Amino acid sequence: MGGQVPIEEGLFTWPSDDPRLIGSECQKCKAILFPVQSGCPRCTSDDTQPKELGTRGTLWTWTIQGYPPKSPPYAGDIENFEPYGVGYVEIHDEVKVETRLTVADKDVLEIGLEMKLTFIPAYTDKDGNEVMTFAFAPVAQ
Ligand SMILES: [Zn+2]
């Protein structure tokens, strides 16, 4: 029996009571970046510090991934593939984050929708662990 493991170290603080995405804040121009970057693309400063991001944002753009992505790098179960939503969520006053969405329903998803951070299993690895990734879910659901 496997447990749950994060898809990537340093991407978010899960598992935790209040899991957050980990970004960077430029100490010079205050730009917020995700994922963590050692240099600021806006002002080219290399003075950035890790910052835990907010958990709410608005849906900026979205699409539905209706067929399995190229594998590799896609590690999910292609035979049992189910369409999923992907998009960008603009975390309030912070940064746009490319993310999976918990819904893949074009009647639910709309630009400007209020979204909240959550964590979902992305796939099961060869050791039987559920590999956890972040996603955003509509707040209203
Ligand atoms: Zn900067």
pLDDT in tens, 22-66: 999 999 999 999 999 999 999 999 999 999 999 999 999 999 999
pLDDT of residue 44: 96
What is the Å distance from ligand 1's center to 46 Cα? 8
Is 114:58 a contact under the CB 8 Å cutoff?
A: yes
Indicate whether 19 belongs to any domain: no
Indicate whether 9 belongs to any domain: no
Indicate whether 104 belongs to any domain: yes
Average pLDDT of the segment spanning 99-116: 97
> Which structural domain, as residue segments, surrounds residue 68?
55-138
Indicate whether 11 belongs to any domain: no
Q: Please, which pLDDT band fits residue 141 given cuts at 50, 70 and 90?
A: low
What is the Å distance from ligand 1's center to 92 Cα? 19
Strands 56-65 and 84-91: antiparallel
pLDDT of residue 1: 61
Indicate whether 107 belongs to any domain: yes
Indicate whether 5 belongs to any domain: no
pLDDT at 140 over 90: no
What is the Å distance from ligand 1's center to 33 Cα? 9
What's the structural domain count of the chain? Answer: 1
Indicate whether 76 belongs to any domain: yes
Indicate whether 92 belongs to any domain: yes
Q: Please give the backbone phi and psi of residue 93, each rounded to the nearest 5 degrees, phi first.
A: 60, 20
Instruction: Tell me which residue of 86, 68, 85 sits closest to 77, measured CA to CA.
Output: 68
How far apart CA 71 and CA 136 sit, in angstroms, is 24
Q: What is the pTM of this model?
A: 0.92
List of residues 6+ apart from 25 with CB closer than 8 A: 31, 32, 33, 48, 49, 50, 51
What is the Å distance from ligand 1's center to 22 Cα? 17
Average pLDDT of the segment spanning 86-92: 98
